Structure 1
């Protein structure tokens, strides 16, 4: 492992990185939030179905 080379490549990547605009950030946050909500709803629906199936969740 070549430490000076690795550090210089990390610095190069950080110099290329930029902060997102407010529109880009809000769009990514909405998409991520929608994904979290959908996964939660799916888990809840599976829980509800398993409660009606005999021998499901006790």
Structure 2
């Protein structure tokens, strides 16, 4: 019984520490400006397109090229 109470107290302390660290991060963060948001969106979109193109090339190489050989 005493062990479960100690575990419960330890978990509560850990949860409190985690919440404090989350609050610290939220206090330091700020809303990005419009320019920052647009730049991040462009870079993320370009990355998605590049990864999609690479996936398409792999698909074509693995499905169409063996038909020619």
Please report the TM-score for the alignment, with normalisation by the length of structure 2. Answer: 0.66
Do structure 1's residue 15 and structure 2's residue 21 form an aligned pair?
no
Q: Which runs of 5+ in 2 are unaligned?
A: 1-10
Task: Specify which structure has the higher proportion of helix.
Answer: 2
| Superposed structure 1 runs of 4+ greater than 6 Å apart | none
Q: Which has the higher contact order (CA 8 A, sep 6+)?
A: 1
Alignment size in residue pairs: 54
Please report the TM-score for the alignment, with normalisation by the length of structure 1. Answer: 0.76
Give SS of 1:19's match. Answer: coil
Alignment partners' CA distance in 2, 1:21 and 1:28: 11
Cα shift readout 1:27-47 (whole Å, capped 9, x = no counterpart): 011001000000111111111
Equivalent residue runs for 1:1-58 within 5 Å? 1=11, 2=13, 3-50=15-62, 51-54=64-67
Structure showing greater Rg: 2
RMSD (CA atoms): 1.4
